[in-house]
Structure 1
């Protein structure tokens, strides 16, 4: 498959309460350097980021406490469990390349598909306006459990504005030595692996390996699928082996690269 269409791991979404987000710098102090995020265009959520040297980032996202509860429930992440990885995103070099992904789904052995690009964005604390489009997975019933398939985040303004890992490299230097994401493991409900396998085959068009924005070849850069309670698990690549507690109960492995 053309490298233009090879999925590029973009970011990992971790849901927290707004109170936790406001104090997240204390939680990650001594482990990670925190980068500012901003408020999303829909007015429902806000975030803060951890930028990794490979160009992927972790997004801590929270719903504002004063929003309409109905609007939160209607949001695709509004009913997910806080302090967990709830979703993850791929990107491509150009939004135009997504057409090839959609084309592969038309002949895939799966019930899943993706929406056409939906406009989104947020404003950074310095006033910079970011624009992108998201493509969300769906099935015959209308939607897929968040995290069981990645969504796509396709930039309409320069990605460097959204993820300044090269522009501000000091933000990617972490005390624990984490360098990037080595692998992503996805658990889906019992009996559903075969259906999801068809979807992942269509996403990748070959081996289940992703690229990272920096072009680094460290780590496995692989995706795996297994049965169990729906969840997403990561393995970091880093300068030293060990574990890191991102949030209470959310412990991730660091694999020496």
Structure 2
């Protein structure tokens, strides 16, 4: 699980990836040095796309096909990946298609979901250790708070709290989470366990929680409120909250819990 850029007191987005034992991202598809051919993990990701598409046809939520990207590091090393985000089908009409284009969608009426409601996917085609070199130098990932991983991502569904629309949206998103993670909801709202590539032995798996819209949140706009809890291995920080007011309208806070091994 990866958290991305923070802006205006919000988490811009968060991502999942696919990984197999002994897999360092060297590319087991048919791609070449120019990033052409079959995308790494492409066949596996297509199965996820199919499960999501079948999860709730009425919701019209799917994952788009992966789009290749990349960059060159300052030391000249080429990084390549492919990303795929969730999108939703607007009612079939020319007006809806035009509205979709205005909302960042396409001519067929597909519009992207608000960032954070569902994770996007980042599939490494070059070794992941080149993009995320945490194993090469432990000092570069050591945080003063002792944070070692993500404990929980709570997504509060957009819409007015308790409304029919909020209930339908939560059901639709829940069906997608079930398709991605498997049906394992239990406890606080609807929750799904998420394992990380580097967290084994350092802390328990993280989890994603789909919660009801909160009174006084940023909802009513269709956006999701996201709360983040981190694992820390520093006892002095356990139980504390870091962050604060970003501007007159936004607050950014992270909770810290103990990273006890499972």
Mark yes or no: TM-score above 0.5.
yes
Residues 101 and 203, structure 1, Cα contact 8 Å, conserved in 2: yes
- Equivalent residue number for residue 24 of structure 2: none
* Cα separation, partners in 2 of 1:206 and 1:189, compared to 1, 3 Å: same
**Aligned partners of 1:226 and 1:106: how far apart in 2?**
22
Residues 149 and 199, structure 2, Cα contact 8 Å, conserved in 1: no
How many residues matched? Answer: 183
- Equivalent residue number for residue 177 of structure 1: 146
**Aligned partners of 1:196 and 1:14: how far apart in 2?**
23
Secondary structure, in 3 states, of the residue corresponding to 1:139? strand
CA displacement at 1:103 relative to structure 2:
2.2
Cα-Cα RMSD: 1.9
- Equivalent residue number for residue 257 of structure 2: 255
TM-score (normalised: structure 2): 0.65
**Aligned partners of 1:183 and 1:214: how far apart in 2?**
16
Provide, for residues 156-214 of structure 1, a one-character-per-residue CA deviation record: whole Å limited to 9, x for no partner: 11100000011222212222111110111111223211111111111112321111011
- Equivalent residue number for residue 12 of structure 1: 3
- Equivalent residue number for residue 102 of structure 1: 49
1:32-51 equivalent positions in 2, closer than 5 A:
none
Instruction: Tell me which protein shows more strand as a share of its residues.
Output: 1
Gaps of 5+ in 1: 1-8, 17-81
- Equivalent residue number for residue 91 of structure 1: 17
1:114-129 equivalent positions in 2, closer than 5 A:
114-129=63-78
TM-score (normalised: structure 1): 0.66
Provide, for residues 22-58 of structure 1, a one-character-per-residue CA deviation record: whole Å limited to 9, x for no partner: xxxxxxxxxxxxxxxxxxxxxxxxxxxxxxxxxxxxx
The reply on whether 1:212 has 2:196 as its aligned counterpart is yes
- Pick the structure with greater CA Rg: 2
CA displacement at 1:100 relative to structure 2:
2.0
1:225 pairs with 210, 221, 224, which one?
210
**Aligned partners of 1:134 and 1:250: how far apart in 2?**
26
